[in-house]
Amino acid sequence: MATRIRLQRHGKKRYPYYHIVVADSRVKRDGKIIERLGEYNPNTNPATINVEFDRALYWLQTGAQPSDTCRAILSFTGVLHKNHLLNGVKKGAFDEAEAEKKFQAWAEEKEAKLLSASDAAAVKTAAEAKAILDAEKEISDKRAAEILAKTSPMAEVAEGETPAAEGEAPTTEASTEEAPASEEVKTEEAPKEEVKAEEPKKEEAPVAEAPKEEKKEEVKAEEPKKEEKKEEAKADDLTKVEGIGPKIAELLNGKGFATFAALGAAKAEDIKTILTEAKGSFASHEPTTWPMQAQMAADGKWDELKKWQDESDGGKPIEAKAEEEE
């Protein structure tokens, strides 16, 4: 029976680990095994390798053939080197003590290499961490410099203002010192100015009345404006007329028919022309009775208007309604 030392997959998807097993070469990967020799986990850094040294050496001595990955693992752990030395003892190249001595020398050298490699890895990780910190520090220093550059003009302006304020202080003191002297000069000149100011008072009296007359004229000029506003505010509600809605009332107001009297004096043909020229569905309305209704409203005949509107059909004449019913 041809035996193989190979890996048997375990673990989960995208995170496998392996058992180092001895199995028949004809059995599938996850099939029945003869013996388990150790574990191999490539997910850690460095990879985790646990091998039963004596049992792995035994199976190599009996002729088991390792797979490529298992060969590398057994070479790393020294099983292959020990098997090579024992084969040399069988051939008589050296004795067993010499083989053990050579193996110990190899093991020490291997351990030294591993330590140096781990130290190098530690130094490398420390260097990478330091490089990251230096890069972050450089970025923070650059940002601090940019902030300082933005705020420095304001600081310079503030520093420039403080000396100016200090320089203004003596001028204010000087002005305060000059103030009494100027007051004394003014007090001496005051009697002369009073004498001069008394003389033109009599002549200026008639001149002061002119602005009052102008103000009165302005007040009178403003009164017509108020009357005009009152007249503009007296627009009648044309929607009281049967058949006129808010939109038509707005249209008629724009054409100059803002009151019942103005609409009552208009001709139905003219109103029909306005409705036809306007955009929308205004042309479908019949304004035949609108002047009559508006005249009633202008004359204050509200009861008659109400009675007529109750008897009519949407502003149509009573006769036209009777004809439609017939």
pLDDT per residue over 245-304, tens digit each?
888 888 888 878 889 888 888 888 888 888 888 877 777 888 888 888 888 888 888 888
Same domain, 139 and 69: no
Same domain, 86 and 19: yes
Same domain, 85 and 117: no
Per-residue pLDDT at 186: 46
Task: Determine the Cα–Cα distance for residues 269 and 277; give it in Å rounded to an integer.
Answer: 12
Per-residue pLDDT at 208: 44
Residue 87 has pLDDT above 80, yes or no: yes
Sheet harboring 35-41: ordered strands across?
48-51, 35-41, 15-24, 3-12, 65-66
In tens, the pLDDT along 101-149 reads 999 999 999 989 888 887 888 888 888 999 999 999 999 999 999 998 8
Per-residue pLDDT at 191: 45
Structure tokens, 15: 């995170």
Count of domains forming the chain: 3
In a domain, 248, yes or no: yes
Q: Is 187 helix (H, G, I), strand (E, B) or coil?
A: helix
79 closest CA partner among 100, 52, 99: 52
In a domain, 65, yes or no: yes
Residue 5 has pLDDT above 60, yes or no: yes
Same domain, 245 and 310: yes
Same domain, 78 and 122: no
Residue 69 has pLDDT above 60, yes or no: yes
In tens, the pLDDT along 212-249 reads 445 555 545 555 555 554 444 477 888 888 888 888 88
In a domain, 187, yes or no: no
Last residue of a domain, one of 93, 108, 131: 93
Q: Which residue range(s) make up the domain with 15?
A: 3-93
In a domain, 263, yes or no: yes
In tens, the pLDDT along 161-187 reads 554 444 454 444 544 444 444 454 444
In tens, the pLDDT along 237-247 reads 888 888 888 88
Same domain, 275 and 316: yes
CB contact at 8 A, 18 and 40: yes
In a domain, 172, yes or no: no
Last residue of a domain, one of 110, 127, 149: 149
In a domain, 294, yes or no: yes
In a domain, 173, yes or no: no
Please compute, for residue 99, the number of CA atoms within 13 A of its CA located in the half-sphere on the CB side. 17
In a domain, 196, yes or no: no
Between 250 and 7, the higher pLDDT residue: 7
- φ, ψ (nearest 5 deg) of residue 290: -65, -45
Q: Is 20 helix (H, G, I), strand (E, B) or coil?
A: strand
Same domain, 240 and 319: yes
236 closest CA partner among 245, 249, 226, 224: 249
Per 3-state DSSP, what percentage of the chain is helix, strand, and coil (rounded to 5)?
70, 10, 20
What is the percent of the chain where pLDDT is above 90? 35
Here the CATH number for the domain that contains residue 22 is 3.30.1320.10
